[in-house]
Amino acid sequence: AQSVTQLDSHVSVSEGTPVLLRCNYSSSYSPSLFWYVQHPNKGLQLLLKYTSAATLVKGINGFEAEFKKSETSFHLTKPSAHMSDAAEYFCVVSDLRNNAGNMLTFGGGTRLMVKP
Amino acid sequence: DTAVSQTPKYLVTQMGNDKSIKCEQNLGHDTMYWYKQDSKKFLKIMFSYNNKELIINETVPNRFSPKSPDKAHLNLHINSLELGDSAVYFCASSLRTGGSFETQYFGPGTRLLVL
């Protein structure tokens, strides 16, 4: 079975300061990992994904995440927060269910707040 | 332009009613999904269809019945609505099944409120 734990339900940063959203996972297989962002009253947008290629993954809007197998972590970072980054962020692990469908398991989400 | 679309965007209804939510994707994908997001923002998969065939059914009450008339559409019908069905329902699609690395593309969500 797979699971995802987002260690912080809320993170507050000042505009222009770094962002760190933490994620730990467990998976029986070599996982694929994703970060999705959900702006208020909107759908989910893919930020980036890890699929066993480079361990440092670059995504959209200046976000990146590093896959660390030894720590079972996939933390999301951004050097400098922007007001438009305020949203809910979901760390997601993907698993093949009986080779018949990839199933996403979502973390509980981290709400990022950006102060001016 | 819209990749994955859902209708309606908002749905307010009384307990005991039957309602449907429609989903369409114009990405040419083979696989479609329904997810439920509860009031605490927790997202969980409900169903997955590949080329009109059900492949994942995550212990959802049988009041929920997905229907896929073709691979571009996956509708969700809910019978005898209950208060606990209030949630945001997301449709998603991916190019194919059989790869854990496949990106799923999400619709804007349908906000269901049962009174």
- Flag whether pLDDT at B112 surpasses 80: yes
Residue B100's pLDDT is 65
Residue A31's pLDDT is 80
Q: How far is B72 from chain A (nearest CA, A)?
A: 17
pLDDT in tens, A77-110: 999 999 999 999 999 988 765 555 567 889 999 9
CA distances from A63 to A27, A43, A91, B32, B101 (A): 24, 19, 13, 27, 19
Backbone dihedral angles phi then psi of residue A86, each to the nearest 5 degrees: -60, 120
- Report strand pairing: B4-7 vs B19-25: antiparallel
Q: How far is A113 from chain B (nearest CA, A)?
A: 16
Rg over CA atoms, chain A: 14
Q: How far is B2 from chain A (nearest CA, A)?
A: 12
What DSSP character marks residue B85? G
Residue B59, chain A, CB below 8 Å: the answer is no
pLDDT in tens, B68-78: 999 899 999 99
Burial class of residue A24, CB neighbours in 10 A (0-12, 13-18, 19+): middle
Residue A100's pLDDT is 53
pLDDT in tens, B13-38: 999 999 999 999 999 999 999 999 99
Contact residues on chain B for A32, CB-CB shorter than 8 A: 100-101
The residue type at A53? A
CB contact (8 A) between residue B43 and residue A29: no
Mean local confidence (pLDDT), B79-92: 96
CB contact (8 A) between residue B97 and residue A32: no
Residue B99's pLDDT is 64
Residue B110, chain A, CB below 8 Å: the answer is no
